[in-house]
Structure 1
Amino acid sequence: MLHFILALLLTTGIPGTTPAVKSYQAMGPSMEPAIHQGDRLGVDTEYYQTNAFRRGDLVLFPVGEDKIYFKRIIALGGERVRVDGDDVYINGTKLDEPYLADGLKRAAELGSPYNVRDFVETVVPKGAVFVMGDNRSNSMDSRDAAVGFVPYASILGRVVTVQHTDQ
């Protein structure tokens, strides 16, 4: 019952306050296996008004005039980022990404690399983040010119809940 009430409050807002959590639906496979197409995302649109951007956060941001993407923050402004095969390096140190464990295991079982798209070392501009989808070989993200680095001001909010649909 407590989980239901919490989900209801996150979806509708706490009575007497402005609801900061908005609902979005995941479209596409770029965040699999953690989030699948059709899953519902609760996004706190006011989170970054009082909290800092952090590596690992799932964020929503616009791409072009008619698309909204959600991806994981990998690197912050001022950091050097490099993608080499299945490994990501921040300032020369390999990034620990436990959220990729299932995908990496599945790729190993199939005898294929998890990521086939490398990214040469680059410094993330101040005031921006470098984002990637968890499904590294099937994600349009900061490695692509159409997305690039995402300015803090463009981020619409942080994913705070995920309601999985039946697969």
Structure 2
Amino acid sequence: MEEKIQGKQKNEFVEWIKAIVFALLVAFLIKHFLFTPVLVKGESMMPTLEDKDRVMLNIIGPKFKAIDRFDIVVVKMNEEENYIKRIIGLPGDKIEYKDDQLYINGEKYSEPYLDQYKKELTDSGTLTYDFTLEQDLGETTVPEGHYFVLGDNRRISKDSRFPEVGFIPKEKIMGTTSIICWPIDHINFRVN
């Protein structure tokens, strides 16, 4: 009788081990191939994302779906740095900023995610200084296979306006994000 109990306990133990290993494998696959949490460092995406927010990065989405204008993306800059920015220019776009207004291919675009920041400005300046791609990067349009990105906190963001960042090749885009998952008071399932 004791042998049956020990055999049953051993089988139950093996089943628990299998379940735990399976759960860990599924978590590993999800984290490395579908979604992964990313820590926001810095204030370049304020007010949309704040320093130390944790966002969920969709790794698989951009492999099957086009990256859209105004998507928030994580860019692999080098081995030590990842930037989180907003897609403004798609391949072939002509980008210009004039009087704090975005123009893409000569058409005026609104950026409602900047309205709060513009209202909070305490000086008489603009949130985004005037520029064209040609002035800042020597190109008239965003090159094929590349994107033009900006941080929402335009006054301090190091982004595509700077030659050391420049146009972002598609292969450097790690994924898109639209979910803030931490801290609790910042949770948002549709960040724009």
Which has the higher Rg, Structure 1 or Structure 2?
2
CA change 1:29–1:17 in 2 (3 A) is: closer
Alignment map for 1:141-160 (pairs within 5 Å) = 141-160=159-178
User: Are 2:180 and 1:162 equivalent residues in the alignment?
Assistant: yes
Q: Which runs of 5+ in 1 are unaligned?
A: 1-11
Q: State the secondary structure of the residue aligned to 1:138.
A: coil
CA–CA distance in structure 2, aligned partners of residues 115 and 131 of structure 1: 16
Alignment map for 1:38-53 (pairs within 5 Å) = 38-53=52-67
Q: State the secondary structure of the residue aligned to 2:119.
A: helix
**Does the CA-based 8 Å contact 1:35-1:164 persist in structure 2?**
no
- Specify the alignment match of 1:120 in structure 2: 132
For this pair of structures, how many residues does the alignment match?
Answer: 153
TM-score, normalization by structure 2: 0.73
**Does the CA-based 8 Å contact 1:44-1:157 persist in structure 2?**
yes
AA in 2 matched with 1:142: S
CA–CA distance in structure 2, aligned partners of residues 114 and 136 of structure 1: 9
Alignment map for 1:22-101 (pairs within 5 Å) = 22-101=36-115
**Does the CA-based 8 Å contact 2:77-2:172 persist in structure 1?**
no
User: Are 2:166 and 1:135 equivalent residues in the alignment?
Assistant: no
**Per-residue displacement from partner, 1:52-88 (whole Å, max 9, x unpaired)?**
1100100011223311001000010001011224111
How much has 1:163 moved relative to structure 2?
A: 2.8
The structure where helix makes up a greater share of residues is 2
CA change 1:26–1:17 in 2 (3 A) is: closer
How much has 1:159 moved relative to structure 2?
A: 0.7
**Does the CA-based 8 Å contact 1:30-1:139 persist in structure 2?**
yes
Q: State the secondary structure of the residue aligned to 2:52.
A: coil
Q: State the secondary structure of the residue aligned to 2:163.
A: coil
CA RMSD of aligned residues (A): 2.3
The structure where strand makes up a greater share of residues is 1
- Specify the alignment match of 1:18 in structure 2: 29
Q: Relative contact order: is structure 1 or structure 2 higher (C-alpha 8 Å, sep ≥ 6)?
A: 1
Percent identity between the two aligned chains: 35
AA in 2 matched with 1:65: E
CA–CA distance in structure 2, aligned partners of residues 28 and 76 of structure 1: 25
AA in 2 matched with 1:124: V
CA–CA distance in structure 1, aligned partners of residues 125 and 92 of structure 2: 29
AA in 2 matched with 1:73: I
- Specify the alignment match of 1:8 in structure 2: none
